[in-house]
């Protein structure tokens, strides 16, 4: 009797201890599984192609599985970071973006092994077959459609590899833009909206057949593309295939179960696997963060080296470490020019003014161009136009005096092309000598994201160069200017910084990065 009671007690103890663990596991398991589907093709096609996979996972996991299509990659990123999505297949760049934002948000678990045994793909730059473009060098002065700012093959890697060759995409191409997806970019090229585009391909097999896997292959299958219409002019180096990522905070046993089901998909339903991976391959393989560390690094390089920063080379030669953190975004403004108005001169004060005006305007053949500074003149030259006169001093206030002295535009009808926030100093000066009208073609708006790398740098002795009043204002929204030594690119920026209650340790005499570099070296030599 004693032994029986003891046995009962042990059984009772076992269940009272084990039951909470069992219940906890059940509660922790998601009640439904939310998968994000990125853009690149129309929503109906996406849902149709992936339906077999959704049904397969729902059957295996025994919980509802739902798809949430997003118009672009940013939508997927926000969904995973905000925990409104549980899972997605993304490019390496998108994963890198999430990791940089929050290393604890998601983890890569699977990728595709190519038919030749490799684990990667390539970025392909393509043009219309009937174009006269046959190489990357032929793209100088031509336009290109990037797929999406968060795609690896459609933006990140080609931009990076061009930078590695000493090519700045913002000046090398006449015009760039984001099409909103891989398919959209291809269609834009086919419709002659852009000269070229960039997308992803396996790099295995024949280009004429769209390779074994990739966007070309998928569009061919859907009847949207004939490779007789396109020519591939450039392939990138090897890129690790993009990962399937899952929220890191989901239960480990659930994640392992999901991985195993996906690993078995090709064996159980080969056609379904082919549909969701865009062509022929050997199946899924496991991956981890280590497989994408290089992409994380590359993304940081691209983000911190936007624009032409070659003017800082002198600093690098003197063993100074430089970082570039763009604080503003250039937003083109819509404008309408009266076709009946004929201008004798058009004055450009910046590269952005040139680029946002020329591509949207029909230029009268008798119109002459005047530029403020060599960089502005170079931007004009790259678009196929010459500067009739370039102001020697790269300052708006001085330019007005310079034009007064040489009587170049006296009594003329002149158009002044500027950014929206530019002051009226030049306009006021020109009104004394000619009939001048101001046209705003772009605006500068602050970047919304906070650079974590910049936050870390500000904990050490630093110098921060501000190239405009708006860049300082944007910086000030997120960071404390008193934590760094402030350097200004010109008098206008210095005056603005002082008006906000801060000091500059030095101001560049030349309004350029080269001038800034010279000012910094002179300052350091005095210490």
Annotate 449-494 with DSSP letters as a single string: S--HHHHHHTTS--EEEE-SHHHHHHHHHHS-GGGSEEEESSHHHH
Element spanning 430, H or E: helix 425-430
**For residue range 348-389, what is the model confidence (pLDDT) as tens digits?**
998 889 988 987 887 777 899 999 888 889 889 988 899 999
Return the CATH architecture of domain 120-240.
3-Layer(aba) Sandwich (3.40)
Mean pLDDT highest for which of 162-171, 246-255, 270-279? Answer: 246-255
Alpha-carbon distance of 141 to 362, in angstroms, equals 18
Helix, coil or strand: residue 192: coil
Residue 316's pLDDT band (boundaries 50, 70, 90)? low
Q: How many CB atoms lie within 10 A of CB 37?
A: 22
Residue 9 pLDDT greater than 60, yes or no: no
Q: Is the pLDDT of residue 477 over 80?
A: yes
Contacts of 28 (CB under 8 A, 6+ apart): 251, 254
Residue scoring higher pLDDT (15 or 256): 256
Region 465-470: what's the mean pLDDT? 84
Average pLDDT of span 7-33: 49
Instruction: Print burial letters for 214-237: b (CB count within 10 Å at least 16), e (below 16).
Output: bbbbbbbeeeebebeebbbbbebe
Model confidence at 304: pLDDT above 50? no
Question: Which one of 1-5, 54-58, 383-387 scores highest in mean pLDDT?
Answer: 54-58
27-116+243-298 and 310-327+447-526, same CATH topology: no
Cα 512 from Cα 316, distance rounded (Å):
16
Query: In the predicted model, what is the mean pLDDT of residues 188-204?
Result: 95
Comparing 357 with 307, the larger pLDDT belongs to 357
Superfamily name with CATH number, domain 27-116+243-298: Periplasmic binding protein-like II (3.40.190.10)
- pLDDT confidence bin for 230, thresholds 50/70/90: very high
Residues 156-179, mean pLDDT to the nearest whole number = 82
pLDDT tens digit string along 60-76? Answer: 999 999 999 988 888 89
When the pLDDT of each residue in the chain is averaged and rounded to a whole number, the result is 83
Question: DSSP states of 205-255 as a string?
Answer: S-GGGT-SBBHHHHHHHTTS--GGGEEEEEE---EEPPPEEEETTS-HHHH
Domain extent listing, the chain: 27-116+243-298, 120-240, 310-327+447-526, 331-446
**CATH of span 310-327+447-526:** 3.40.50.10090
User: The domain 331-446: what is its CATH number?
Assistant: 3.40.50.10090
The pLDDT score that the predictor gives to residue 309 is 57
pLDDT score for 6: 41
Of 115 and 52, more confident: 52
Q: Which among 348, 385, 342 is positioned nearest to 364, based on CA atoms? A: 342
Ramachandran category for residue 302: left, alpha or beta (phi over 0 → left; psi -120 to 50 → alpha): alpha
Partners of 443 in the β-ladder: 331
Sign of CA dihedral 194, 196, 199, 204: positive
* Residue 484, CA distances (Å) to 454, 458, 463 in order: 11, 6, 6
Separation between Cα atoms, residue 124 and residue 247, nearest integer Å: 31
**Distance, CA of 216 to CA of 214 (rounded, Å):** 6
Q: 22-26, 158-162, 266-270, 463-467: lowest mean pLDDT where?
A: 22-26
CA–CA separation, 199 and 125 (whole Å)? 7
- Look-up: residue for tokens 């760039």? 176
Higher per-residue pLDDT: 375 or 513: 375
Tell whether the model's pLDDT for residue 47 goes beyond 90.
Answer: no
pTM recorded for the entire structure: 0.49
Q: Percentage of residues in the chain with pLDDT exceeding 70?
A: 85
CB 278 within 8 A of CB 153: no
2-11, 129-138, 241-250: segment of lowest average pLDDT: 2-11
Of residues 298 and 465, more confidently modeled: 465
Counted residue by residue, the chain has a size of 527
């Amino acid at each position: 009797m004693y032994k029986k009671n003891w046995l009962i007690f042990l059984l009772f103890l076992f269940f009272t201890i084990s039951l909470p663990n069992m219940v906890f596991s059940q509660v922790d398991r998601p009640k439904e599984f939310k998968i994000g589907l990125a853009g690149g093709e129309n929503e109906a096609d996406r849902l149709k192609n992936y339906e077999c996979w959704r049904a397969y996972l729902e059957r295996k996991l025994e919980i509802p599985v739902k798809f949430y299509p997003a118009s672009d990659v940013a939508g997927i990123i926000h969904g995973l970071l905000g925990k409104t999505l549980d899972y997605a297949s993304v490019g390496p760049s998108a994963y890198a973006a999430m990791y940089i934002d929050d290393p604890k948000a998601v983890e890569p678990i699977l990728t595709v092994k190519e038919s030749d045994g490799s684990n990667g793909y390539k970025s392909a730059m393509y043009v219309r077959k009937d174009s006269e473009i046959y190489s990357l060098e032929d793209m100088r002065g031509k336009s290109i459609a990037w797929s999406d700012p968060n795609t690896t093959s459609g933006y990140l890697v080609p931009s990076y590899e061009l930078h590695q060759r000493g090519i700045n995409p913002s000046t090398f191409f006449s015009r760039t833009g984001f099409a909103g997806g891989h398919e959209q970019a291809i269609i834009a090229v086919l419709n002659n909206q852009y000269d070229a585009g960039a997308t992803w391909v396996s790099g295995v097999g024949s280009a004429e057949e769209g390779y074994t896997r990739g966007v070309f292959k998928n569009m061919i299958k859907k009847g949207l593309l004939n490779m007789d219409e396109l020519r591939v002019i450039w392939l990138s180096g090897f890129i690790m295939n993009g990962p399937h990522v899952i929220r890191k905070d989901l239960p480990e046993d659930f994640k392992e179960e999901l991985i195993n089901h996906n690993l078995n998909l090709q064996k159980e339903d080969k056609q379904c696997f082919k549909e969701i991976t865009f062509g022929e391959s050997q199946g899924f393989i496991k991956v981890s963060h280590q497989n994408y560390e290089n992409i994380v690094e590359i993304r940081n390089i691209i983000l911190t080296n936007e624009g032409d920063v070659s003017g800082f080379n002198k600093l690098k030669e003197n063993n100074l470490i430089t970082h570039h953190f763009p604080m503003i975004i250039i937003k083109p403004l819509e404008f309408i020019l009266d076709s009946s108005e004929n201008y004798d001169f058009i004055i450009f004060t910046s590269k952005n003014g040139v680029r946002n005006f020329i591509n949207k305007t029909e230029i009268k053949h008798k119109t002459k161009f005047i530029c403020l500074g060599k960089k502005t003149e170079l931007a004009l030259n790259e678009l196929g136009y010459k500067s009739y006169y370039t102001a020697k001093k790269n300052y708006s206030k001085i330019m007005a005096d310079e034009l007064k002295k040489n009587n170049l535009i006296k009594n003329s009808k002149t158009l002044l092309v500027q950014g929206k926030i530019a002051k009226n100093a030049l306009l006021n000066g020109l009104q004394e000598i000619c009939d001048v009208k101001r046209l705003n073609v772009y605006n500068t708006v602050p970047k919304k994201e906070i650079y974590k790398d910049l936050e870390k740098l500000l904990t050490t002795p630093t110098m921060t160069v501000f190239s405009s009043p708006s860049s300082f204002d944007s910086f000030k929204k997120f960071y404390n200017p008193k934590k760094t030594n402030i350097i200004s690119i010109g008098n206008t920026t210095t005056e603005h910084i002082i008006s906000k209650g801060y000091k500059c340790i030095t101001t560049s005499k030349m309004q350029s990065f080269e001038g800034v570099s010279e000012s910094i070296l002179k300052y350091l030599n005095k210490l």
